[in-house]
Amino acid sequence: MSQVTITINGKPETREVEDRTLLVQFIREHVGLTGTHVGCDTTQCGACTVHLDGVAVKSCTVLAVAADGAAVTTIEGLAEGGTLHPVQQAFHEHHGLQCGYCTPGMIMASVDMIRRHDGVLDEATVRHELEGNICRCTGYHNIVKAVLDAAEKHRAAHAAAAE
């Protein structure tokens, strides 16, 4: 057993865990945040995507002890003061979901993608970058529309701030 402290959505969380505990298990079972989903346990589906020190990772492949001292953002940590994050809002506006199981991972991967590309994205790039996130319900069309819309709004907001 090891004691780990991981800052999740801005709040330090210290727990005693088995050394084999996955980050996704720490988030869901030890902290009680269930927005991060467990899909495949083999890094294939992306439903468990979170941000670890600002970078999107599949939390089913990271041990909690490896994340000791790190900062993790989950889907629950994106909204600020009751206002949806722009990517969450875009998924809502473009109906980028059906059953919703993959949605948290898709959103977390999309936020990271928009950040890394500074909002400069095209459909081919979005589709390529989301290959590690599987949706079994949709044809990805509305997901891609949502990401492109959020990326455009990101670019516009940064351009306005630079003026």
d(CA 28, CA 48): 10
Strand, helix or coil for residue 91: helix
CA distance 71 to 61: 16
Residue 155: the pLDDT is 92
State which fold the 86-162 domain adopts: DNA polymerase; domain 1 (1.10.150)
What is the structure's pLDDT at 43? 86
pLDDT of residue 78: 97
C-alpha pair distances (Å), 79 with each of 59, 69, 140: 20, 23, 23
Which H or E run includes 28? none
For residue 139, what pLDDT is reported? 77
Q: Which of 107, 159, 155 is nearest to 133 (CA)?
A: 107
Distance CA 131, CA 129 (A): 6
The pLDDT of residue 28: 98
How many CB atoms within 10 Å of residue 48? 28
Tens place of pLDDT per residue across the chain (163 aa): 999 999 999 999 999 999 999 999 999 999 999 999 998 878 899 999 999 999 999 999 999 999 999 999 999 999 999 999 999 999 999 999 889 999 999 999 999 999 999 999 999 999 999 999 999 887 799 999 999 999 999 999 988 888 8
Instruction: Give me the architecture of the 2-77 domain, per CATH.
Output: Roll (3.10)
- Where in the chain are the domains? 2-77, 86-162
Give dist(CA 123, CA 155) in Å, integer: 16
pLDDT number for residue 138 = 78
